[in-house]
Structure 1
């Protein structure tokens, strides 16, 4: 796509080792961008980089480590030039009742998804100011409609939505645009792992169509790449998510009514159990990390 405004622009994607992040990297590279892939899985990132049509830079960094991100930003700047686009995509999830959640994992979801996004923006903000660039925050349907049994994930995605709104207001006068991507279910390791748990599978199945449909990551990545090209304030995938945004004031009461009917049955069947961190990304994060919090948050 030689007419893309992304051609020869430096674009940073965090959490690009798999799933939506990897699909975004491939689509953005196809549109001519110079890619920098950041995460703490160098082997998986190198595999994604090798699949791209043009060479890409792989930089190992945990998004919750501000110092590591500052060093990563310096490497990207020196090797590829200051980024014009930063996509804060890194994220993890867990499921299950809050009362029995492992609070170390619960806090890790908040740390990766919220603090990691903020530290990513902080590390690359000087570059985005220099290039009058664009920051895309990957959010979720969970930013709009909090669901039972996903308290950490919903809290984190509501948090990144608020962060992106605040950041946009702060940097607009400097020429930096900030967008939010609201994504529904996508065919990733995380969602496939969630579907192994009956209660999360039923949670998705009870959503109205087309919101319960699982979308291919390539389709999602194409929509996101177009949003980046157009510096969109918001992008909804699938498009009907916009209707949930418009009606978000009534969503909590609707969710509560459904939960009051469904949860007692699931509880009686002993199906409300913690899932742990979901998917290969969650397992990789768990394996790579040193203990961060005392058990149960104490």
Structure 2
């Protein structure tokens, strides 16, 4: 008989839970016997994930919500507490992305990415912090390699992830003495709807392939949810889903220089070929849903 997870019977909140990394984390939490609050935008998808969570042995309820809406998020936090109990775990995963040259990206699109990925994380923390203080719980900020390395043609995404890391690190120092732990989860490219949508665009696909190995790889490991939940169980400060990510901060200016070199060569060749470097718009089904109703849940 296996050990009982410390998450069993606890309430866990996952934003961006309709698909991608958020969906996988929610299912892994449910397998631990957690009560999972599924926050995101695609109501039908959230309902489907809730059913799968219940089939996995947990309890789950969906809450359609825009993570940048302070008032609605505060309402949802109260509803979660009333119906499921105070949150012991909050996973800030909601995120959207777009590709294309900065100079040609619509200002509203660039701003929206920062609002969802950075401001939405802060709104999530603000809404659920009272519960986490009560439970002496754990807040996990899902981040990305993009927070540590330049991301040509995805400047808003890179800036938002770097900002989210800085926010989470500052929050950790602020609430540690009150018993709340704050963690960062750093991921490289995962095979999600967002990444597949990015690879549909020749320029984005070419730039990713020009990244230095192993940063150019797309991981198709369905264990991403399990790996993150193991980190949640131990209340980890920094979770690196690929071991080599631990080395990235130590590389200093080397990785940015390599990325810049590869991007310069790729973009020069594409320019010479007359390739249209048109902006992609918000990527994937989550990005499409955000564009029609204003929330991001495309994953990390």
- Is the structural similarity TM-score above 0.5? yes
Conservation of the 8 A alpha-carbon contact between 2:207 and 2:266: no
Whole-Å separation in 2 of the counterparts to 1:220 and 1:227: 11
1:176-195 to 2 correspondences below 5 Å = 176-195=180-199
- Gap regions ≥5 residues in structure 2: 296-300
Alignment CA distance shift 1:217-1:21 (3 Å): farther
SS in structure 1 at match of 2:6: coil
Cα drift, residue 272 of structure 1: 1.8
Cα drift, residue 202 of structure 1: 1.2
SS in structure 2 at match of 1:50: helix
Cα drift, residue 289 of structure 1: 3.1
Give the aligned partner of residue 298 of structure 2: none
Whole-Å separation in 2 of the counterparts to 1:191 and 1:263: 20
Cα drift, residue 39 of structure 1: 1.3
Conservation of the 8 A alpha-carbon contact between 1:2 and 1:31: no
Alignment CA distance shift 1:217-1:67 (3 Å): farther
Give the aligned partner of residue 291 of structure 2: 286
Indicate whether 1:31 and 2:36 are aligned.
no
SS in structure 1 at match of 2:46: helix
Cα drift, residue 4 of structure 1: 1.1
- Gap regions ≥5 residues in structure 1: 291-298
Cα drift, residue 217 of structure 1: 5.6
**Aligned pair partner of 1:56 in 54, 60, 64:** 60
1:104-123 to 2 correspondences below 5 Å = 104-123=108-127
Alignment CA distance shift 1:287-1:2 (3 Å): farther
TM-score, normalization by structure 1: 0.94
Give the aligned partner of residue 200 of structure 1: 204
SS in structure 1 at match of 2:191: coil
Indicate whether 1:151 and 2:149 are aligned.
no
Give the aligned partner of residue 85 of structure 1: 89
Whole-Å separation in 1 of the counterparts to 2:232 and 2:42: 25
Whole-Å separation in 1 of the counterparts to 2:90 and 2:293: 24
Whole-Å separation in 1 of the counterparts to 2:257 and 2:245: 18
- Equivalent pairs counted in the alignment come to 290
Conservation of the 8 A alpha-carbon contact between 1:84 and 1:132: yes
Whole-Å separation in 2 of the counterparts to 1:8 and 1:204: 41
Say which structure, 1 or 2, has more relative contact order (CA 8 Å, 6+ apart): 2
SS in structure 2 at match of 1:70: helix
Cα drift, residue 220 of structure 1: 1.4
Give the aligned partner of residue 230 of structure 2: 226
Whole-Å separation in 2 of the counterparts to 1:249 and 1:207: 15
SS in structure 2 at match of 1:178: strand
TM-score, normalization by structure 2: 0.93
